[in-house]
Structure 1
Amino acid sequence: MLPNQIINLNTIKLCGSLFRMFYRLSPLINKIMESSYGLKKGNISDV
């Protein structure tokens, strides 16, 4: 294997794990975004 191919495989693995982590955290991120957006708009009754 060429060093270039090895680097590409490592970056693909890294991106995959990061994507998985983000996918697991996305509901939490959505909640935070929704709540902060709601607070900015002033819709505290929805929370």
Structure 2
Amino acid sequence: MSGKTLTLIVILAFVIFVVGTFVWFIGNWNTSGDAAVSSAVPAKIEERQA
């Protein structure tokens, strides 16, 4: 194999790996198990007395 062919094979393997892990991540996403960040109640901040 030439260097060009080997480089293209490595790039293709990396792209397949990235797409595969992304699909796995989306497929295993459990929306009921995670609390949304925007639904968190902020802590009460006390005002300072001057």
Instruction: Judge same fold: TM > 0.5, yes or no.
Output: yes
Structure 2 portions without partners, runs of 5+: 42-50
Superposed, which structure 2 residues align to 1:4-43 within 5 Å?
4-26=7-29, 28=30, 30-34=31-35
Uncovered stretches (5+) of structure 1, i.e. residues with no partner? 42-47
Which one-letter code corresponds to 2:13 in the other structure? N
Count of paired positions: 36
Calculate the TM-score normalised by the size of structure 2.
0.53
TM-score (norm. length: structure 1): 0.56
* C-alpha deviation, 1:33, in angstroms: 2.9
Distance (Å, rounded) in 1 between the aligned partners of 2:21 and 2:6: 22
Residue identity (%): 11
Larger RCO: 1 or 2 (CA < 8 Å, sep 6+): 1
